[in-house]
Amino acid sequence: VEEIGIGGRTSVFATGGRAVAISAPDYPAMATGIALLGSGMGSRLYRALRLDRPLAYTIAAELTPSEAAPSGIVIVACDPQALDEVQQIVEREIALATEEPAGTEELQRAKRYLIGKHALRRQRNWEIAHYLAMFELLGGAEGYRLDARLAGEIAAVDAPGVLAAMRKLFRPAWTVRLRASEAGAN
């Protein structure tokens, strides 16, 4: 764990690990696990850090599935006073995601979220062109075919696959804490 002092009024907790490329067979499971953990208002981190306790300003969980350096990250922005508690909650939720399979309802929610997000981001020609180019960039010549198959592959993801993918992503994980201090506030 590395802690860095920064100016401003908002602290940030970030943790992540080595992900898989978009062309990897376990990419759909890893994407589903990230969605389950921190994407949308039904995610575990949203419930724990916004609904159960109003601790987080922003919660983001994302994959960058490049062939060269794939990564996954969870980022939470919070009040400096809440940084320690935010870290404990995020680490607890990641531990659960790497130790216990997701329940059926929770898994379905995460898959619906991802499939819907995939469809919504392809409503205009420029969006379709953008994502086809990104898939080709991330997945090589197979890229555009990956885009066409992704929703079906996400729908087929099961709880053991998500569990294995989360273990791969977060074991080991790195952590950075950016602690804000009023002295440097803008």
Taking alpha carbons only, the member of 140, 28, 145, 50 closest to residue 42 is 50
Using DSSP's 3-state secondary structure scheme, residue 12 falls into strand
pTM across the whole model: 0.88
CATH numbers and ranges of domains, the chain? 2-180 (3.30.830.10)
Q: What is the mean pLDDT of the chain?
A: 90
Beta sheet of 174-181, edge-to-edge order: 2-7, 174-181, 11-18, 71-78, 56-64
Q: Which residue has the higher pLDDT, 145 or 2?
A: 2
The confidence score (pLDDT) of residue 141 equals: 59
What are the pLDDT digits (tens) for 5-45? 998 999 999 999 999 988 899 999 999 999 999 999 999 99
For residue 69, give the DSSP letter.
S
> What is the C-alpha separation between 115 and 111, in angstroms, rounded?
6
What are the pLDDT digits (tens) for 119-155? 776 677 777 777 677 777 766 656 667 777 889 999 9
Query: Please, which pLDDT band fits residue 183 given cuts at 50, 70 and 90?
Result: low
DSSP 31-67: HHHHHHHHSSTTSHHHIIIIISS--EEEEEEEEE--S
The confidence score (pLDDT) of residue 185 equals: 47
The confidence score (pLDDT) of residue 186 equals: 45
Retrieve residue 50's tokens: 């916004």
What are the pLDDT digits (tens) for 65-116? 888 889 999 999 999 999 999 999 999 999 999 999 999 999 999 999 999 8
Query: Please, which pLDDT band fits residue 161 given cuts at 50, 70 and 90?
Result: very high
Rounded (10°) CA dihedral 34, 36, 37, 39 = 80
CA distances from 153 to 1, 38, 58 (A): 35, 20, 29
